[in-house]
Structure 1
């Protein structure tokens, strides 16, 4: 979505997103030139969800100083000349209206909007080859893609459907297809469409008709398709065709991001493991406790509700849009407070278009058609609107659809919490009166979230809405100007609270702990993670559920800090305070990095996750335990692990504070 940049305020609002870069464009001779790092940013933004590059503005510590660009029209001409030079860059996604020449504090500035490239244009790369010259925007920086990621982009570009590939003749219908699954499918087809002509065929012919077996008319090759194996195959055949394939359903007993589950469906040798059987098993579990009101439709009782429809569509979407070459599983989670769906791969079209509906670009079209034949799934991009409308019909909070990488994955979270709980609405009316009612729905949702969760930031607000992030960026300072919110911090670290609510800094928290004894609060304490839907359904951690006897200090028997009003887990701030038994245990987890100075990245992240299991650990303490430099641990591992939801933060509103604490959120099977 392109917008007009008119003043410094527009830059200040844009900067709360990581999709903006400020660059000087003075050139060697001071007459103006595109900086060399412009092109890596261009590639990264085009391959992602777009962004902005502001040329001629110096940004430092949240302050913007326009320095201007010499001869802006000449610079603009040079930009388009290079954009259309295929020796420079593979594709031009920028049009004339994407480049704005504006005056900021009497200085000429060029604001370049980089729209997201289409699937057919990606990978947008520099020079002539995509390998080594393709970038993605990860962790607020432009990162060079590895060859595997580039190959995946090329496959997305070349193949409209990723599941119609014909496998080798080493796969056979008799050996590799679950006949029981296919028979059940035919029964469902008969129930949904009793007069369907496919019902006349034997199982193998039916399998061919629905796309499980195909002949490539260009090469003459024929055999089982990827869709046929994934939908109806046996486990050994599935994993041979798609080595990264895994499906997982977990029912968790509490409204918290944690490891424990009370029911699970995953390939364990007791069932086929294919997508069709996974759908049937999981949908029954998802809807088991849903109440169905007595309503008649054409003289017969209606068997489900808009919520059933939404869950059915969410599960089908999760399957048919999955990229089974990615190294992440399909994961479905059911908790008392929400339903969560994760599929590998990003959406092929912008999320705003997915939510609006009417546009569709399904990654696995044969799988989609197989579901459609038995009355499951929606055509023409209407699935996501049905999910949103189903949730709205029961006044539950707006579904959250977002993407993460690496690895590339799409997540949908369906909260069962009321849009605005009555007690919170009453509190807000007491504080703001009728002015709260005059806010639009989205503004009310932002203020409500700040009240419920204590604070809100740009990232969290984006998760609450289907609107473009630019609208979120403008809404937050607007609510601040109206007196509904108060801001804290700068730029990407900026958070908002209700007036009168203060978030103590880590320094203030540790100062308060050191000046008082809180032993009385520990006598019957059990440490558990509070309910917080914004933590994400796919993040889990090992809970430390044992009760601690209360020592006469602010530390537990292992020497970890305890402050229940600040930390939901014990906090390791200094290794020398720890009991010898816990210290030895943590050192054992860190044995590999302590013995070797050079480790593979996955070895170090595994060690960090193990050390941080069940408590928060400061970077300083981690450095001692791992025998590594504190700053290098932060830069090389901790930030990426937080972004990938492998680690959680003791102070999420102060992400980069030097006294931050980290706890493991790693999912363990």
Structure 2
């Protein structure tokens, strides 16, 4: 195990959380993120965490990370337990945040020597300026009101969170409180301006409101297999990021074949596994104030995505040796709560792992430049073509309806899709057999869960 540094911190935590743990969390959030390991001494010697206390320590860390007295604004942490040298340790990946955080009313920053308090007004001002300049998702719109948000999207978000993490604390608070907890309502302590942010608008605003805030924002999805000069199919998407994700996934399902893979006893949908990462990347890791539209183009032998970018380097990215940098940490964090984005770096590794299983002839390229580009090369002859069938299209629509309303009934689905109830029953039976949906509870009073 390597030693401590600007992005690595070890702490002993035999039976309880260290008293200064949130100073380090705060410093990581304010600087470039980092890895926090509990159960290891400063010299990298593993001493472990008491096995009888490790669950409670992890629970305390999660609960306190949502407590503004410990961390303001709150930031949800997700500790993981590992065994090293026969001893249990707790690992927490803390990302770089788009906000300035405090712990016990003090702002902390970090250098190679460790955490330190930011005391002078000049240093605090520089930190706010650095965050604001780089993360444009933080721009405050004082006249953006809660009534400008789409109520249906809040219902959809809660259903997604329920399916992903039934015990998530956001499920017990109001929509307004959820926006604040997610860092989507901010106050600029230099100007006194406060309100909902650009990130809040991108996630929840009504379409007509979003067009006023970011007029150039759109995502083009194109199919170019026969007509290479124009397109065989096109979808222009100008809606919020939550719905845009679903529309792009529908486009993928309509034009790329499905394939399943047994990973142990678990049936993995390779198309979903690969392309959900691709789509999440072009939606949440883009520079929204740039007029360049995001693009997803499907050819016979490759898929290309492009999105406006604030580059931190230039040229090809090596998936085996790279340091991920969040472009919009608040939006990324929100997508992670929905189960629609992995931890930074994990998504790229998933694509690299599963693409060769999806198609034998595969190649994966990432290019860091002003317009970030992803290229997936494939040979669709080696993929079982089932996705273009009507039954799959019906299944896609059913899943979309379940995500919007987990309490929806079979007759209601049949009415919305203009199908017979028997057709919907058969489609749901197939989805349950494939492990894509579950019925929780009885027919009356239960609900649907999308896996």
TM-score with structure 1 setting the length:
0.35
Tell me how many residue pairs correspond in the alignment.
252
Q: CA deviation at 1:224?
A: 0.9
Aligned to 2:365: 400
CA distance 1:158–1:225, shift in 2 (3 Å): closer
Matched, 1:236 2:211: no
Aligned to 1:258: 229
Aligned to 2:288: 324
Measured in 2, the distance between the counterparts of 1:411 and 1:353 equals: 10
Match for residue 352 of structure 2 among 380, 385, 388: 388
Match for residue 245 of structure 2 among 268, 279, 291: 279
**SS at 2:319 equivalent:** helix
Matched, 1:377 2:349: no
Aligned to 2:146: 173
Q: CA deviation at 1:233?
A: 1.2
Matched, 1:334 2:304: no
Measured in 2, the distance between the counterparts of 1:416 and 1:262 equals: 20
Match for residue 291 of structure 1 among 241, 253, 258: 258
Aligned to 1:366: 330
Structure 1 residues 435-477: Cα deviation after superposition (integer angstroms, max 9, x where no partner)? xxxxxxxxxxxxxxxxxxxxxxxxxxxxxxxxxxxxxxxxxxx
Q: Within 5 Å, which residues of 2 pair with 1:346-495?
A: 346-353=310-317, 355-393=319-357, 394-402=359-367, 408-417=370-379
Match for residue 311 of structure 1 among 264, 271, 275: 275
Measured in 1, the distance between the counterparts of 2:171 and 2:373 equals: 36
CA distance 1:336–1:161, shift in 2 (3 Å): same
Structure 1 residues 562-617: Cα deviation after superposition (integer angstroms, max 9, x where no partner)? xxxxxxxxxxxxxxxxxxxxxxxxxxxxxxxxxxxxxxxxxxxxxxxxxxxxxxxx
Aligned to 1:159: 133
8 Å CA contact retained: 1:189, 1:374: yes
Aligned to 2:178: 206
RMSD: 2.9
Measured in 1, the distance between the counterparts of 2:285 and 2:179 equals: 21
Q: CA deviation at 1:352?
A: 4.5
Higher relative contact order (CA 8 A, sep 6+): 2
Structure 2: unaligned runs, 5 residues or longer? 1-128, 383-451
8 Å CA contact retained: 1:349, 1:361: no
Q: CA deviation at 1:242?
A: 2.1
Measured in 1, the distance between the counterparts of 2:203 and 2:279 equals: 14
Structure 1 residues 358-380: Cα deviation after superposition (integer angstroms, max 9, x where no partner)? 51211111111111111122223
CA distance 1:243–1:158, shift in 2 (3 Å): same
Measured in 2, the distance between the counterparts of 1:182 and 1:251 equals: 31
Measured in 2, the distance between the counterparts of 1:361 and 1:234 equals: 29
CA distance 1:362–1:285, shift in 2 (3 Å): same
8 Å CA contact retained: 1:396, 1:419: no
8 Å CA contact retained: 1:357, 1:382: no
**SS at 1:205 equivalent:** helix
8 Å CA contact retained: 1:358, 1:380: no
Measured in 2, the distance between the counterparts of 1:158 and 1:353 equals: 26
CA distance 1:352–1:333, shift in 2 (3 Å): closer
8 Å CA contact retained: 1:326, 1:344: yes
Q: CA deviation at 1:199?
A: 0.3
Aligned to 1:227: 199
Measured in 1, the distance between the counterparts of 2:317 and 2:131 equals: 19
Measured in 1, the distance between the counterparts of 2:145 and 2:251 equals: 32
Q: CA deviation at 1:164?
A: 1.8
Measured in 2, the distance between the counterparts of 1:364 and 1:230 equals: 11
CA distance 1:258–1:202, shift in 2 (3 Å): same
Matched, 1:184 2:152: no
Measured in 2, the distance between the counterparts of 1:323 and 1:375 equals: 22
Q: CA deviation at 1:292?
A: 3.5
User: Comparing both structures, which one devotes a greater share of its residues to strand?
Assistant: 2
Q: CA deviation at 1:241?
A: 2.2
CA distance 1:364–1:383, shift in 2 (3 Å): same
**SS at 1:356 equivalent:** coil
**SS at 2:372 equivalent:** strand
8 Å CA contact retained: 1:345, 1:410: yes
Q: CA deviation at 1:357?
A: 4.9
TM-score with structure 2 setting the length:
0.50
Q: CA deviation at 1:221?
A: 2.8
The structure whose Rg is larger is 1
Measured in 2, the distance between the counterparts of 1:278 and 1:210 equals: 20
Q: CA deviation at 1:171?
A: 1.0
8 Å CA contact retained: 1:227, 1:366: yes
Structure 1: unaligned runs, 5 residues or longer? 1-154, 268-272, 421-669
